[in-house]
Amino acid sequence: MTELIFSLAVGVMAGAGIYLILRPRSFQVIIGLSLLGYAVNLFIFAMGRLHSGAPPVIGSAAHYADPVPQALVLTAIVIGFATTALFLVVLLAARGLNGSDHVDGKETDAH
């Protein structure tokens, strides 16, 4: 049951991220990229097996937690944070130059 809820949460986060990436404003695109990155991080983290209420180390080697997905997710979090900060700086510079935060730089009046 835990895996089902976890997979649904990852799917909803990925879907919301893709929806926001397709929006016309730069800030929504940045938030969508962040959500998609978090969904991918959770997916990679789930590859190390989800066990709730179990100790991380048990007697045999078959029951050890895999540290590789955890290390990959930790590295991806740091890189994602730096990338988001860079995107926000570029967003502010583009808004200052163009006066608009649309992805293509043009604001449409047809609403």
Q: 31-53, pLDDT tens digit by residue?
A: 999 999 999 988 888 877 666 66
Q: 4-33, pLDDT tens digit by residue?
A: 888 999 999 999 999 999 998 888 999 999
Q: Going by C-beta distance under 8 Å and a sequence separation of 6 or more, which residues neighbour residue 96?
A: none
Number of domains in the chain: 1
Residue 24 belongs to domain spanning: 2-50+65-98
Q: Are 61 and 32 in contact (CB under 8 A)?
A: no
- Structural domain contains residue 111: no
Rg of the chain over all Cα atoms, to the nearest angstrom = 19
CATH of the domain at 28: 1.10.287
The helix-helix angle for 26-46 and 2-21 (nearest 10°) equals 160
In our burial notation (b when 16+ CB lie closer than 10 A, e otherwise), range 86-108 reads ebeeebeebeeeeeebeeeeeee
Q: The pTM is what?
A: 0.76
Say if residue 80's pLDDT is above 60.
Answer: yes
Which residue carries 């016309």 as its tokens? 24
- Structural domain contains residue 110: no
Q: 53-66, pLDDT tens digit by residue?
A: 666 665 665 566 66
- Structural domain contains residue 80: yes
- Structural domain contains residue 15: yes
- Structural domain contains residue 56: no
